[in-house]
Amino acid sequence: MTKRKLSSSTDGLGVLVVATATLGTTIHTAVTGTADFDEIYLYAYNTSSSNVKLTIEFGGAAVKDQIEKTLLAESGMRLIVPGLLLQNSMVVTAFADTTSVVGINGYVHRIIS
């Protein structure tokens, strides 16, 4: 297992959520193929002075793939995805009620079988 940055992160920095609807801002693209897995951890923060609803699209945009969380105003980082597995180049995207006020940081444990 190796620890890696999110594929959309530059130099390990956070990814700004710009999208306000599906298909959201790309956060991470999982490992190619079906033999290996990415164990994904995401933390989100809201820099707005108002609460903001965040939707993570984990591998797809269907309701079954969505993780929703209301981020309280200026409340610091919150764990959003606690190590869920993804593979086969599936994509994690995100959108929020308000553009450019939510950031997502995180990392991936790449599990090689």
Give me the tens of pLDDT residue by residue for the chain, a chain 113 residues long.
Answer: 899 999 999 999 999 999 999 999 999 999 999 999 999 999 999 999 999 999 999 999 999 999 999 999 999 999 999 999 999 999 999 999 999 999 999 999 999 98
Q: How many alpha carbons fall within 13 Å on the CB side of residue 81?
A: 30
CATH number at residue 10: 2.60.120
Report pTM. Answer: 0.96
Q: Encode 69-97 in three state secondary structure.
A: EEECCCCCCEEEEEEEEECCCCEEEEEEC
Joined together, the tokens standing for residue 84 give 């869920």
Q: What is the pLDDT of residues 57-77, one digit of tens each?
A: 999 999 999 999 999 999 999
- Domain span including residue 15: 2-111
Question: How many structural domains is the chain composed of?
Answer: 1
